[in-house]
Structure 1
Amino acid sequence: MRLPLVACLAWGILASPLAHAVEPPASSAAKPWMLNLRYRHEHVDDDAFARPAEADTLRVRGSLAHRFSPRWTGFIEAEGVAELNDRFNSTANGQAAYPVVADARALEINQAWLDWAGERAAARVGRQAIILDNARFIGNVAWRQNMQTFDAAQLKLKPTKALELQAIYLDRVHRVNGDEARDPLARERRLRAPLLRVSHAVPGGSLVGYGYWIEDRDVASASTRTLGLRWSASRVLSKDWKGGLVLERAQQAPWADANGGSAAYMLVEPRLERGSLVLKAGWERLGAGRARAFQTPLATLHAFNGWADKFLATPANGLRDTYVSAQGGLEIGSRKGKWEVAFHEFRGARGNLRYGSELDASLGVTLRPGLDVLAKLAHYRSDGFARDTDKLWLQVEWTP
């Protein structure tokens, strides 16, 4: 990694009188060791292919953490993914006649970082998972068997109780396709990407301003500068109900050697909550500019715009996603679980374009502590964009 400037800057601030206790960056290890096994069956019936995919994969992940002192912690995590059959295109097995299920075989170091935590500052350097806000722009894609990580340095400062500043430099992204993907650009990308995020607590919520200057050194046309503002808040409406609202606005323009016009992002998402029940409605718009649309390639994309993953890249005419969802808890005997349903209608951001609609549903149950099962489905119906697609997942995850 080429991080001397960031490392020197971080050390200079940490050594100053400001360095006194903030939460360390997300994903700090809570246990000295961890083992996790996850088996998944994924069925994909995409009308663009003659045969459906039937993917069986197994992930094994183990980690070790060591606290050298009250302020210094080291962490290493290894991960292996096995393809248990070849009736799917993993991006590494050459089975192009099947739909893609991006859970390719892998054996790699997933994370390896060093933490320093003071009273008003914290820093992390190394390979790490990073999630910013709701993961719409920067995320770890934890849904896939091989999650996304970054070679990066990050620094958090908390000068007051209400104010938090976060500075990050991304040197490389290790993508979910893993090191065995046949396309080198699907394995990893070299970056020059300083990120800045400032969060301030406001009554009932928070106000976040951010700037992401992402230069993709492997695909120059993918380089972007994104500046945005996100406000989220909630308030008690009655004895049983609580309401909330998220508003977000961002502007994206070409950066470094990229060309094209700028494009806007907008999100409006009200919600109602009663105990474990959460009802949401939303309107998300990824706009289209001259020769390019608003893109979020480093996001946890599976969490947005439908689980069928038809919009991992924003279409040239942009995307409007109007959606409603409900989720909540349940009890089956002594076992607890979670359920979720959502409906999306997709249109273009410009022109009178109809893309399609999607229905999603999931049910997860904890059979006993550390042992979870999940059933999940996505039902996409095309109205001119891509082809009809149905997906079904059955998953068992065990953490001893």
Structure 2
Amino acid sequence: MKFQFNKNRIAACVLAVMSMGVHANEEQKGIAEGISSTVDVSFRYRIETVDQEGSLEKAEASTLKTRATVKTSWSSQFDTLIEFDNVSVVGWDDYNAGAGNTPDTTNHAVVADPEGTDLNQAFVRYRGDNTSVAYGRQRILIGNQRFVGGVGWRQNEQTYDSLTLNSEFAEDFKLSFAHVFNVNRIFGDDVDGGDHRHDTNLVNLDYKGLGNGTLSAYYFQIDNEAAAGLSNDTFGVRYSGKAGNFAYAVEYASQSDGGNNPNDYDADYFLLDAKYQQKNYAFGAGLEVLGGDTAGGQGFTTSLATLHKFQGWADVFLGTPVAGIEDLYINGSFKVNGFNFKAIYHDFSTDEGGVDLGTEIDFVVSKKINKNLSAMFKYADFSSDNAAYASREKVWVMLTYKP
């Protein structure tokens, strides 16, 4: 099953719903007793540059994301949400937006922020005392988004046409389930790669009654009908907790091919992460391993993840090498005078054979200017002597306005 939307119809529907939402707000004490709506509009302007070694020219992108969100509560148990996103170029446009979006600029490095207008979310939801059920186009964020997320860093985020259930069915337990029909990817509706048909089931169970932390168990049965090589079955368990000023996480997952995946492979995932944190500073280290299976022809795959959060902000390893990847990292952060600073160092190598893949330094500084406006400067520098992975430098400058 796949939701099909026409852009002009989207715009008309959003404007109509916004009008009805505002009207309901104005009249909620009269004709529309019990119905309330809110309309939020936010903006995110970003400059991104990518300077990559090799034959590709430098990418320079200047884009603005405008988002309108209409939330309507029809009763104490039923509500709806419609969210409409537009991404526009407002300056530099010398970049490859990826997946065939900009065929005239494929000689430039990739900045995966295509222009366009999309219905980002549109769902109806029932909320009971301990359980909610939603149907339609919606965000799905599981845990730290290592396996399933929204790719919120990109201007056009990833959402899911799905049926979801969230239930706190017992004390300290929380169950999340989603059946996904279609994944609306960051590349937009104008290209074939912008949508992937799915027959996917996602299950996650959290238990908070074990020490000062959360034990999570998950099963992700991913059947990607548009890209069979991304289909797999993943079982995993994670524990994250705190001990005084220390925070830590331990995780293991096992994955094998699923659906119609042409590869016959098995791979494991490991994570060890620790952090010491005080009020204004923190530092930590970790090791993340996505296993490889060269004989099976595929490494551990996380195709629905918010990949930008992991393995370096330069986004070199959006796909796991067949030999797998080990990421040994250290990080530190501090706050001063309203500024937030963070730096991360990564050392990458293959899981099988220990081949050096390169190193990366990431740095970000952000500041909340007032209650509505925030600013960010972000930098990533990936360096490698491995011919398969070109060295590159990325810079971002971003302003975000939220009401």
250, 255, 264: which one aligns with 1:252: 255
| 1:328 counterpart = 2:334 | yes
TM-score normalised by L of structure 1: 0.88
334, 340, 343: which one aligns with 1:341: 343
**Alpha-carbon deviation of 1:70?**
1.1
Q: Deviations over 1:172-204 (max 9, x none)?
A: 1111111234xx12x010001011111111210
The residue identity in structure 2 corresponding to 1:110 is: N
Query: Could you list the runs of 5+ residues in structure 1 that have no partner in the other structure?
Result: 4-29, 237-241
Q: CA contact under 8 A between 2:366 and 2:374: conserved in structure 1?
A: yes
Report the Cα distance in structure 1 between the residues aligned to 2:394 and 2:265, rounded to whole angstroms: 35
| 1:40 counterpart = 2:42 | no
Q: Which runs of 4+ in 1 moved over 4 A?
A: none
275, 280, 293: which one aligns with 2:279: 275
* Residue 311 of structure 2: aligned partner: 305
* Residue 355 of structure 1: aligned partner: 357
CA-based RMSD of the aligned residues comes to: 1.5
Report the Cα distance in structure 2 between the residues aligned to 1:48 and 1:316, rounded to whole angstroms: 23
* Residue 200 of structure 1: aligned partner: 207
Report the Cα distance in structure 2 between the residues aligned to 1:367 and 1:176, rounded to whole angstroms: 29
51, 69, 83: which one aligns with 2:57: 51
* Residue 319 of structure 1: aligned partner: 325
Report the Cα distance in structure 1 between the residues aligned to 2:241 and 2:271, rounded to whole angstroms: 14
* Residue 383 of structure 1: aligned partner: 385
**Alpha-carbon deviation of 1:31?**
8.0
Q: 1:276 to 1:72 in 2, by over 3 A?
A: farther
Q: CA contact under 8 A between 1:112 and 1:127: conserved in structure 2?
A: yes
368, 371, 396: which one aligns with 1:369: 371
* Residue 23 of structure 2: aligned partner: none
Q: CA contact under 8 A between 1:37 and 1:398: conserved in structure 2?
A: yes
| 1:130 counterpart = 2:136 | no
**Alpha-carbon deviation of 1:50?**
4.5
Q: CA contact under 8 A between 2:217 and 2:236: conserved in structure 1?
A: yes
Q: CA contact under 8 A between 1:49 and 1:99: conserved in structure 2?
A: no
* Residue 226 of structure 2: aligned partner: 218
Report the Cα distance in structure 1 between the residues aligned to 2:2 and 2:346, rounded to whole angstroms: 42
The residue identity in structure 1 corresponding to 2:279 is: G
Q: 1:31 to 1:379 in 2, by over 3 A?
A: farther
Q: CA contact under 8 A between 1:170 and 1:193: conserved in structure 2?
A: yes
**Alpha-carbon deviation of 1:73?**
1.1
Query: Could you list the runs of 5+ residues in structure 2 that have no partner in the other structure?
Result: 4-35
Q: Structure 1 vs Structure 2: percent identity of aligned residues?
A: 29
Q: Deviations over 1:276-318 (max 9, x none)?
A: 4232211000001221100101100000000000000001110
Q: CA contact under 8 A between 2:269 and 2:291: conserved in structure 1?
A: yes
* Residue 96 of structure 2: aligned partner: 89
* Residue 232 of structure 1: aligned partner: 240
**Alpha-carbon deviation of 1:2?**
7.1
The residue identity in structure 2 corresponding to 1:93 is: T
| 1:75 counterpart = 2:87 | no
**Alpha-carbon deviation of 1:49?**
3.2
Q: CA contact under 8 A between 1:105 and 1:180: conserved in structure 2?
A: no
Report the Cα distance in structure 2 between the residues aligned to 1:79 and 1:116, rounded to whole angstroms: 24
Report the Cα distance in structure 2 between the residues aligned to 1:395 and 1:298, rounded to whole angstroms: 25
| 1:108 counterpart = 2:146 | no
Q: CA contact under 8 A between 1:104 and 1:180: conserved in structure 2?
A: no
Report the Cα distance in structure 2 between the residues aligned to 1:276 and 1:56, rounded to whole angstroms: 33
Report the Cα distance in structure 1 between the residues aligned to 2:398 and 2:330, rounded to whole angstroms: 25
* Residue 16 of structure 2: aligned partner: none
